[in-house]
Copies of this chain bind each other. A is one copy, B any other.
Amino acid sequence: MQVKVYQDVLDANDRIAALNRVRLESLGLLTLNLIGSPGCGKTSLLERTLQELKAAGIRCGVIEGDLETSRDAERISACGVPAVQINTKGGCHLDAASVQRVLDDLPLTEMDVLFIENVGNLVCPAGFDLGEAGKVVVLSVTEGDDKPSKYPVIFRKASAALITKSDLLSHTDFNVDAAQRDMRAVNPPLPVMLLSARTGDGIAEWMGWILARTRRRSHG
């Protein structure tokens, strides 16, 4: 009974996600679903990413997911980028319907890249397609290099993995090679990038990854 209901929920989600995907792709938008633990640095990374993309003439928009508050959408708006906040009111992930409801609140026809920052959670968001082109998993060095083995689902489904807060690497026991090896054990072709939103180290590679996937390369 529970299993069947869960399956129905996922099927319903997939149908709406498919509608979102058709809509976003038909507008030429690259949509990326950022997934990682609370505090892994998703919003700080987004702030830096949006600045760099703006400088490259790429127009962005952001959907922010959190249980409560609009703090993240306010941080993104302060970057001069259109942002909407979804509050899940205790819910542990975004679903396709919640994204569908806010798409009209963004100037989609004037955007090249849509970032969706999911609720901070390395587990549940992995199961819910939102209609994105790809999931990007974010893991910070302060979380430990054992996480890819302990939480393999999202690493299996991701199109790219970002290891963030590299500026704190020397203060931790995080072994980049071990983390990368464990990520590739569950997802062999996964691109893994080590970076720091604070210092900018590694950001160029991440920019290159995004730019290679955007249809419109420059509006500068």
How far does the alpha carbon of A66 sit from the alpha carbon of B144 in the complex, in Å? 14
- Residues 114-129 of A, flagged 1 when their CB comes within 8 A of B and 0 if not, give 0000011111100100
A119 to chain B, nearest CB (A): 7
Verify B168–A67 contact, CB threshold 8 A.
no
Query: Which residue of chain B has its CB nearest to the CB of A121?
Result: B123
Determine which of B68, B69, B91, B122 lies in contact with A38 in the assembled complex, contact meaning CB atoms within 8 Å: B122
**Copies of this chain in the oligomer:** 2
Query: Which residue of chain B has its CB nearest to the CB of A182?
Result: B69
Number of interface residues of A (CB under 8 A): 40
A38 to chain B, nearest CB (A): 5
User: Given A90-B153, A122-B121, A123-B124, is A147 in contact with B9 using a C-beta cutoff of 8 Å?
Assistant: no
Query: Which residue of chain B has its CB nearest to the CB of A142?
Result: B142
Residues of A within 8 A of B (CB): 1-2, 5, 9, 37-40, 66-69, 71-72, 90-92, 119-124, 127, 139-140, 142-144, 146-147, 149-153, 165, 167-168, 171
Instruction: Pick the 5 closest A-B CB pairs, nearest first.
Output: A39-B143, A142-B142, A92-B123, A37-B37, A39-B144
Query: Which residue of chain B has its CB nearest to the CB of A172?
Result: B168
